[in-house]
Amino acid sequence: VKDAAELPYAFYTEEMELESQRLLKLKKELDNALEYNQFELYFQPIYFTPDKKVAKVEVLVRWNHPELGLVMPGSFIPLAEETGLIIPLGKWVIEHACQALGELNYRGIDIGMAINLSPRQLSDRTLGPFIEQTIQEFKIDAKKIELEVTEGLLIYNFETVLSQLQALRAVGISLSVDDFGTGYSSLSYLKRLPINALKIDRSFIMDIANDANDKAIVSAVIAMAHKLNLLVVAEGVEQQNQLQFLADNHCDFIQGFLLCKPQPFERLCLTLEQK
Ligand code: C2E
Ligand code: CA
Ligand code: CA
Ligand code: CA
């Protein structure tokens, strides 16, 4: 809240006090959540638009909280970034994602895996070597791994971030810009970072069937990406008419509740084996 003085007094004392207490409690509990093994990975398929086959899955972390139940990353990733837990949690995610991919391969399922990285993780010099070591440990082909990064990256030491991204690209790992279009410097990213793909943010997809501006933006972004030899993923596809627009405009990959929700590993295996 920018200016608490503008808020009605009662609202501030009750609701905001409760909210800040809740956050403080969550933050304390988050510290132990790794140790107590309370995190779980969910996986959401990403489909190749022309044939609707699963090309890869995005890894999305959840927190199985003993009292609150399933806590979504939107409420704890920002806290983990603040406390620094994002560094060990991020490594936990990478390790378990690689383990899951190894297991899928073992079951004869040949797909890629996209892993989200917080900007802060890339400012940690041990990240790149950790990723390389982990993919070796689980005998993963680096070409199967994609890292999703966001615009917050550029606030950290650019040299550290860039050299790690270049090293990861050199071993065959792909990079995509997540939430494309929502940041301030999305275009300068494409110029400055060794990117392979971009993911158009859900906010542009939501009204795409009706909103002429969104139609123009999305079709132009896809055309621009293709001229730059980048692949395009549309996220948050919930309706058939959105999918149709994206297919008509040659969007390479589609992800969203229309096709499949994020699911735990065993459910994912069933989904993938059905095909
Ligand atoms: P994101 O990377 O933009 O991930 C996409 C989010 O959109 C996911 O939310 C996914 O469940 C949701 N989504 C997918 N399809 C649809 C759809 O059709 N409709 C709607 N309404 N939503 C859809 P989720 O899992 O709650 O994750 C939220 C954010 O938390 C992610 O946004 C990502 O920024 C962050 N996050 C998740 N897992 C990790 C992780 O392992 N590491 C880091 N650093 N961040 C993570
Ligand atoms: Ca993502
Ligand atoms: Ca995204
Ligand atoms: Ca998003």
Cβ(268)–Cβ(43) below 8 Å: yes
SS3 120: helix
The ipTM value here is: 0.98
User: Which residues are placed with Cβ below 5 angstroms of ligand 2, an ion?
Assistant: 116, 148, 178
Comparing 58 with 2, the larger pLDDT belongs to: 58
Q: In terms of C-beta distances under 8 Å and separation of at least 24 residues, what long-range contacts does 29-33 make, across chains too?
A: 29/65, 30/63, 30/76, 30/79, 30/80, 30/83, 30/85, 31/83, 31/85, 33/63, 33/65
pLDDT digits (tens, 9 = 90+) for 57-68: 999 999 999 999
- CA dist., res. 23 & res. 75, Å (int): 9
Q: Give the pLDDT confidence score for residue 42 in this predicted structure.
A: 98
Which atom from ligand 1 is nearest to the alpha carbon of 72?
26
Ligand 1 atom 7: residue of nearest CA: 236
CA of 70 to the centre of ligand 1 (A): 14
CA of 68 to the centre of ligand 1 (A): 19
- CA dist., res. 68 & res. 70, Å (int): 7
CA of 5 to the centre of ligand 4 (A): 31
Give yes or no for residue 262 CB within 6 A of ligand 1: yes
Cβ(123)–Cβ(153) below 8 Å: no
Which atom from ligand 1 is nearest to the alpha carbon of 238?
18
Model's pTM, two decimal places? 0.93
- CA dist., res. 228 & res. 262, Å (int): 30
CB atoms within 10 A of CB 98: 23
Q: Give the pLDDT confidence score for residue 139 in this predicted structure.
A: 96
